[in-house]
Chain A
Amino acid sequence: MFIDVEETLSRELHEVADGLRIPAMPPLPQKPPRARRPWQPLLVAAAVILLVAGAVVLVVTNRASQKVEPAPPLPSPSPSPSPSPSPSPTQTEPVARIPRTAPTVPYVLDQRLYVDGEQVPGTWWSVRAGDAGWLALRTDNTWWWGRGPEATEITGLYDTPPVISPNGRYIAAVRIENGKGVVTGFDTGLGAARAEDGRGDATLLRASLPEHLGQPTMAALIEAIHLGEIPTERCHELTPVLFKVAAAGDQIAADIVRRQAREIVAMVVAAMNRLDVVGEPIDVLLGGGVLTAGHSLLMDTIDALLGKAAPGATTRIVSAPPIVGAALLGLDHVAAPEQAARTLRRTYADD
């Protein structure tokens, strides 16, 4: 058999080339490349997802945190310096005058603790206080907290002294890890707990939260979570309970949900500010279990607040796991056919 290799090559290559079905030319940039910033929505999405993850933890940890109050009562919208949150008659006088009245904040004098002018039983080393509560160390080295003259002991072991938030609403257990403080738990006057002990308005949470985790009372639930008898993962189950109670018209629960919405919007706006896209028409992708559940109170509040803060923003709920976005980018990069993207979405939609 004799074949002229060169002639055959030439013929066959031409045959192959001529027999090709030439696909349509892929779209090419029509204009000078705009400064497209495709990572922006992704960044916003990532930030929001992070936020929501953190927010879920917060909601859960404070699952029944006390009723949201519009923080320090400001006098009408006048620009004059607002009075201190705990005004006392002496404070309006010139600073040079030393007030003679008893302090209005908790204080320890000669190992005696005074709160609201009353002496708290026991002997004390020190006290720290915020507007809403105080945290004190007794001379037997136990920590106590309270909102009035009533003291409640903080149980559990603390390697590091607990701390009180500046507004006095939260007591956090702290652990030092590699030189950084890590909050390991909260002990706080909770909305449901306030309802139970009579400090706050009635809320259905008071019954539904303990019931969901098989505890008789709010106090028992707090204790069980605090002592680790209820694992953290199970606390996540309380979030849907909260939404259900809120949807049923419970004011305290609804307040918590609205507060959550405010936090989410604050985070979104912060992210948009960093990207300098406030006012631009932009998609805000919200993801994570809580947001994708589509609770109307939460979503409506978010839309309303975001509409005010960033009129150009449109919220979109992303239920696909973040990996899908990454894979889609990859597919775009290799100019994969549309079908591949559909297959990808379908695969993850099943999960």
Chain B
Amino acid sequence: MMYSVTSGADAPTFEEYAGTAWPSLYRYAYLLAGNHADAEDIAQQTLMKAYGSWSRVKDSDSPTAYLRRMLTNTYLSQRRPKSRRLEVLTDAPPEPGHTSVGGPEERMVLWPHVKSLPPRQRAVIVLRYYEDLTEQEIADALGCSRGTVKSTAHHALKALRAALGTDGRED
């Protein structure tokens, strides 16, 4: 999960903070983007933005939440169409939808479908089930109302259930 940093007189420098935050930022970015190249891209852009406004970030109530919001916005504002978004420059063949190296991802039933959700739905799902945020926190990260979070989550779950071909559990 996201690290927490005590604020106050011993506020960390940006370098310290970035070093600590990088793994969790990267994990979150990967869950949103679905591939390493874009994840690295998004996480790095987020750090660059944070660097640019570090004084504001470090004085905020929670730098963690601040960066999470930045990263979410970075991800959502990438308006490249999905087909283009997958055309990334890598030094290796692009990751297939299902990783073929026999990792745990192969057995997963929902993750592949999460990857095909629209960005906002996907962000809500990741924030709710990975970051374990409350609806209010998700609303803050996305910059929308709790009602929107609720309905987005509802649509996302419905899509996932439909994709599974099961009725799942009724809300």
A-B CB contacts (within 8 Å), total count: 102
What is the minimal beta-carbon distance from A317 to any residue of chain B, in angstroms?
A: 28
Asked if B114 and A13 make an inter-chain contact with CB atoms under 8 angstroms apart, the answer reads: yes
Q: Which of B15, B40, B164 contacts A5 (CB 8 A)?
A: B164
The reply on A237 being an interface residue by CB < 8 A is no
| Residue A340 interfacial (CB < 8 Å) | yes
Cα distance A235–B40 in the bound complex, in angstroms: 52
What are the residues of chain A within 8 A of B89 when measuring CB–CB? 331, 334, 336-337, 340
Tell yes or no: A15 within 8 A of B by CB.
yes
Cβ-based interface call for B103 (8 A): yes
Q: Does B23 make an interface contact (CB < 8 A)?
A: yes
List residues of B (67-88) whose CB comes within 8 Å of A's CBs.
Answer: 88
- Distance in angstroms between the alpha carbons of A220 and B44 in the assembled complex: 66
CB within 8 Å of A: which B13-30 residues: 14-15, 18-19, 22-23, 26-28, 30
**Residues on B with beta carbons closer than 8 Å to the beta carbon of A9:** 110, 114, 125, 129, 160
B95-137 interface bits toward A, Cβ cutoff 8 Å, 1 = contact, 0 = none: 0000000011100111100100000000001100110100000
Output the nearest chain A residue to B52 by Cβ-Cβ distance. A33
User: Digit string of A200-219 for contact with B (CB within 8 Å is 1, else 0)?
Assistant: 00000000000000000000
Give the residue of A2, A23, A336 whose beta carbon is less than 8 angstroms from that of B26: A23
Min C-beta distance of B90 to chain A, whole Å = 7
Contact in complex: B130, A14 (CB < 8 Å): yes
B47 in contact with A12 (CB, 8 Å): no
Shortest 9 CB-CB contacts between residues of A and residues of B: A339-B91, A13-B130, A336-B89, A17-B27, A337-B91, A25-B22, A10-B129, A9-B129, A340-B89
Which residues does B use to contact A, with CB under 8 Å? Answer: 14-15, 18-19, 22-23, 26-28, 30-31, 36, 40-41, 44, 47-48, 51, 88-91, 103-105, 108-111, 114, 125-126, 129-130, 132, 157, 160-161, 164, 166, 168-169
A-B contact sample (12 more), CB < 8 A, given A28-B47, A28-B48, A336-B90: A12-B109, A12-B111, A13-B31, A13-B129, A16-B104, A16-B105, A17-B28, A19-B104, A22-B23, A22-B26, A335-B41, A340-B89
